[in-house]
Amino acid sequence: MKRQLNPGPYRAVLFDIDNTLYRDDRYAQWQIDVLIRRFADHRGMAEPEALRLVAETRSRLTANAGRRPSLGNTMVALGVPISTSVDWRRELITPHRFLQRDETLRAPMERLAAHVRLAVLTNNPEDVGRASLDALGFSDLIPTVVGLDTTWASKPDWAPFQAALDAVGAPVEATVMVGDRWDVDLAPIVERGGSGILVESHEDLREAITMLLEA
Ligand SMILES: [Mg+2]
């Protein structure tokens, strides 16, 4: 578990949702697949061609910026505005079909919610993020969902992170971001003096929450 932590106590913990608050590589990949299929329809091109175009664009952006962009920002470079990505995601992504209540994490999340302010930051629209929390059984514990339509910018842009910090009312130095992609989820917070924990498995997430409860 890669991490960069300031000394505690912390005032806020921000979570990414997909492949962070749950781990399901098939569902995460399915979300990408349906969006690229929708992009292929939109452009009137075959799916393999669309896949290749997205991959090439992502590689070029990675080389230019020195970090891997989100799918949303890759789509922007391909002429699909964030507002269209929001519409497509709302139309296509259905968390209740894939996610279920996580009883093993419910008690630790309750304890964490009693200690610090919690928020999630997702590159899905707010209502898709909220539906994911509902399905996982954490919705009542996490009052703030910052989504793609909160600031119309996609992580790792700073705007959604700032919106989350404003909502929880904590300075970045006293905030921990937990996510599964260093470049997209964690680098913006860590580079500004906050803390980051990279989770690569459900076990990592359990350990991260335990560690935060002891901080
Ligand atoms: Mg993620």
- What separation in Å is there between the alpha carbon of 123 and the centre of ligand 1? 8
On whether both 57 and 83 belong to a single domain, the answer is yes
Q: How confident is the model at residue 184 (pLDDT cuts 50, 70, 90)?
A: very high
Query: Do 113 and 46 have their domain in common?
Result: no
Regarding whether 126 and 45 lie in a shared domain, the answer is no
How many domains are there within the chain? 2
- Residue 181 alpha carbon to ligand 1 centre in Å: 6
Q: Is the pLDDT of residue 22 over 90?
A: yes
- Per the CB < 8 A criterion, the answer to whether 61 and 69 are in contact is yes
Residues with CB under 5 Å of ion ligand 1 are 16, 18-19, 180
Verify that 90 and 127 share a domain, yes or no.
no
% residues pLDDT > 70 (the chain)? 100
The domain containing residue 39 runs over which residues? 26-96
The 10s digit of each residue's pLDDT in 63-73 is 998 888 889 99
Q: In Å, how far are 125, 131, 160, 214 from 152, measured between CA atoms?
A: 9, 19, 8, 35
What CA–CA distance (Å, rounded) separates 32 from 178? 21
Instruction: Name the residue among 1, 22, 25 with its Cα closest to residue 176.
Output: 1
- Are 10 and 115 members of one domain? yes
Question: 121 and 192, same structural domain?
Answer: yes
Q: What is the CATH number of the domain that holds 164?
A: 3.40.50.1000
pLDDT digits over 133-154, tens only? 999 999 999 999 999 999 999 9
| Separation CA 154–CA 151 (nearest Å) | 8
Model confidence at 215: pLDDT above 90: no
Residue 83 has pLDDT above 90, yes or no: yes
Residue 18 Cα to ligand 1 midpoint, Å, equals: 4
Distance 8 CA to ligand 1 centre (A): 24
- pLDDT at residue 67 in the model: 86
